[in-house]
Amino acid sequence: MSEGPDRTPEPCADWDTRLNSYLDGELDAVHVLEVERHLASCPACAAHLRGLENTHTLLASGQARWPVPEGLRESVVAALAAEAANAAPAAGWSPAALWRRLWGDAGRTVIRERVARWSLVPSLAVLAVALVIAVLPPRGGALEDELVAGHVRSLLADHLTDVASSNQHTVKPWFGGRIDFSPPVLDLAARGFPLVGGRLDYVGGRVVAALVYRRNGHVINVFVWPGASGAHTVKGRDGYTLMGWSEAGLSYWAVSDLNPVELKEFQEDFTEALPK
């Protein structure tokens, strides 16, 4: 056993697992008695058990916090971008392709390496940083690139919805107080486009509403924010179709891998169902 001035003494060799099992109530009566006899004669193991008990209590309280230091986000994003740039061809890259690369094995490796330098609990820190990166918009680029990246990001990061419901009267109130406008949430299930839910996203330097629908397994993200997007627009980008339009002071952009004909049908049904 060994100890330092600011750490709990380490338990005797081969006793750490037994102490954890003892704390979790996984031992039978014979082994419980064996552990308790050992604790009575070994201060190091007794102190280690108290440390384990304190850790369990802290985690159970829900008050455990591991702060992420300033500059970590920028460092991780820069490292991921460099990794993607080195691995991708000099020309022909796209934001959607970049996000696919960053969320691959190489991207996860870079995250682990950067976070391990700052945290004593790397697994928790990796999760925290992954969540931060999952909501980051691409820097620069056209609006269409940001919209495609937002669509792809919602699929890759398993963050399709913040509120998952097919009930428009559940989804619409959820946005109240979270954004400075009220997006229309429509029930289009009868027309073949069931509502999945909604979430917040980040496009064009502001927080926007994202309404999520499905069509035969295809996801449709509808990004909504105040303002006019101009004339009706249909564009293709990286295998996705983007359809933009304005109505009653709000801009709408639908993004999906659904074919343009069906996405146009969705846009017409959505517009027709808007409150008049």
User: pLDDT per residue over 107-152, tens digit each?
Assistant: 545 545 554 454 444 444 444 444 444 444 444 348 888 999 999 9
Strand order in the sheet with 240-247: 163-164, 195-203, 206-215, 218-226, 250-256, 240-247, 233-237
148 with 53, same domain: the answer is no
- pLDDT score of 14 more than 90: no
Q: Which residues pair with 221 in a beta bridge?
A: 212, 255
262 with 163, same domain: the answer is yes
261 with 171, same domain: the answer is yes
User: pLDDT per residue over 223-248, tens digit each?
Assistant: 999 987 556 778 888 789 999 999 98
149 with 108, same domain: the answer is no
SS (H, E, C) 110-135: HHHHHHHCCCCCHHHHHHHHHHHHHC
Chain mean position to CA 54:
30
- pLDDT score of 166 more than 50: yes
Phi-psi region of 249 (alpha: psi -120 to 50; beta: other; left: phi over 0): left
* Residue where a domain terminates, one of 61, 81, 116: 61
- pLDDT score of 198 more than 80: yes
b/e per residue 217-251 (b: at least 16 CB within 10 A): eebbbbbbbeeebeeeeebebbebbbbbbeeeebb
Token digits for 18? Answer: 């037994």
80 with 173, same domain: the answer is no
**pLDDT-based confidence at residue 81 (cuts at 50, 70, 90):** low
Query: pLDDT higher for 63 or 274?
Result: 274
Range with lowest mean pLDDT among 69-78, 197-206, 233-242: 69-78
121 with 174, same domain: the answer is no
Structural domain boundaries, residue 97: 72-134
> How many domains in the chain?
3
178 with 266, same domain: the answer is yes
Range with lowest mean pLDDT among 75-89, 149-163, 185-199, 216-230: 75-89
Range with lowest mean pLDDT among 26-30, 49-53, 220-224, 245-249: 26-30
267 with 151, same domain: the answer is yes
**pLDDT-based confidence at residue 90 (cuts at 50, 70, 90):** very low
267 with 166, same domain: the answer is yes
- pLDDT score of 83 more than 70: no
194 with 263, same domain: the answer is yes
On whether the CB atoms of residues 83 and 110 are closer than 8 A, the answer is yes
Position 269 in a domain: yes
170 with 257, same domain: the answer is yes
**pLDDT-based confidence at residue 11 (cuts at 50, 70, 90):** confident
On whether the CB atoms of residues 131 and 181 are closer than 8 A, the answer is no
94 with 114, same domain: the answer is yes
> What percent of the chain has a predicted confidence (pLDDT) above 70?
66
**pLDDT-based confidence at residue 15 (cuts at 50, 70, 90):** confident
